[in-house]
């Protein structure tokens, strides 16, 4: 028996916690923890200035080259795939939806497996 009423009353999570882990060949880079709201195109947390510099450079170029491919960049703070390709040049990205910046992801927010 499934309880769909509780699923439909939950508001969607507006923020995404981004744990940024430097790629192995860039071990001098610090790990960063940021919070991103794609709807408001907002980024918060330690290292925001560094990431915004990467975003601004990609926007100025209009593209990012990564792994032999070229990706058009038009709205990286609003389009998840564009922000991901910018960050992937330097970091492994571990995203986690949260209700607000600096909030720990909750087990209640995790998707529940459903039996079919």
Closest CA relative to residue 84, chosen from 69, 100, 104: 69
pLDDT tier at 57, thresholds 50, 70, 90 = very high
* The pair of three-digit structure tokens given for residue 34, joined into one six-digit string: 């940021």
Q: Model-level pTM?
A: 0.78
Average pLDDT, the chain: 86
- Per-residue pLDDT, averaged over 32-39, amounts to 96
Tell me what percent of the residues of the chain surpass a pLDDT of 70: 81
Percentage of the chain surpassing pLDDT 90?
A: 69
Which of 23, 40, 39, 41 lies closest to 31, judged by CA?
23
CA-angle at 32, arms to 46 and 59, nearest 5°? 80
């Amino acid at each position: 028996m499934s309880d769909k009423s509780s699923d439909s009353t939950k508001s969607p999570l507006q923020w995404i916690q981004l744990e940024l882990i430097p790629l192995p060949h860039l071990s001098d880079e610090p790990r960063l923890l940021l919070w991103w709201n794609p709807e408001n195109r907002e980024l918060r947390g330690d290292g925001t200035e560094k990431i915004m510099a990467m975003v601004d450079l990609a926007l100025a170029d209009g593209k990012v080259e990564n792994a032999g491919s070229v990706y058009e960049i038009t709205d990286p703070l609003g389009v998840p795939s564009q922000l991901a390709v910018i960050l992937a040049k330097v970091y492994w990205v571990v995203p986690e939806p949260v209700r607000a910046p600096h909030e720990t992801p909750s087990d209640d927010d995790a998707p529940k497996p459903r039996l079919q």
